[in-house]
A and B are shown apart, each in its own frame.
Chain A
Amino acid sequence: GAVVSQHPSRVICKSGTSVKIECRSLDFQATTMFWYRQFPKKSLMLMATSNEGSKATYEQGVEKDKFLINHASLTLSTLTVTSAHPEDSSFYICSARDGLLLYEQYFGPGTRLTVT
């Protein structure tokens, strides 16, 4: 099956710094990528949807200036958490939709962000 990778898998940063998380589709072209946030023992909350080459669409309540999303190519999307604070600590999961198989959505392994 299709593979989506995320890097890093785990990151610890100091409050006030920025952190970039990469999401790559390894063997397919992802015209659409999604970024989710998951709190402990909770469901996934969709943060934003990005289509290659265009601006991301953010869900209500998600600060676009804080969570910068770039989808510059058909295999790479990045999420940058700017000026991170401890409340941004969470598990961030990306997923990618194959441009040819609109029903299929593949998930990355997630990135655990801890802000100290």
Chain B
Amino acid sequence: AQSVAQPEDQVNVAEGNPLTVKCTYSVSGNPYLFWYVQYPNRGLQFLLKYITGDNLVKGSYGFEAEFNKSQTSFHLKKPSALVSDSALYFCAVRASGSGGYNKLIFGAGTRLAVHP
């Protein structure tokens, strides 16, 4: 069965410092991996995805994520955090090989709090 784990409920970081939001996954077959961000009372905004190719994926707002197959991880990173990055972040996975119609499975979410 597919699953996604985000081990941290909350991550606190000072503005200007690097941030990491962790994600590990379990899926049979090749994974399609996604990060989304959600601001209060809003839907999800797409940040980045890994489908194939380079393990380091660059996305919106200066975020990037590294796909690590051996560790089954897809951690989200940013070199220098901004207060405006404070939000709820979701990692999601979808298995390949089913005509593309498989559903996304979401992690529990990690709240990122960036302090001035």
Contacts and interface: CB of A to CB of B under 8 A. Distances in A.
Interface of A: 1, 4, 6, 32, 34, 41-44, 46, 49, 51, 91, 93, 95, 97, 102-110, 112
A6 to B, nearest CB: 8
Contact of B109 (A34, A42, A51): A42
A103 B49 contact: yes
B49 A42 contact: no
A43 B4 CA distance: 11
A106 B107 contact: no
Contact of A93 (B43, B101, B108, B109): B43
B42 A44 contact: no
Interface of B: 32, 34, 36, 41-46, 49, 51, 90, 99-101, 103-104, 106-109, 111
B43 A107 contact: yes
- Counting chain B CB atoms within 10 Å of each CB, the highest count among A34, A42, A49, A103 belongs to A103
Contacts of B45: 107
A102 B44 contact: no
A43 B43 contact: no
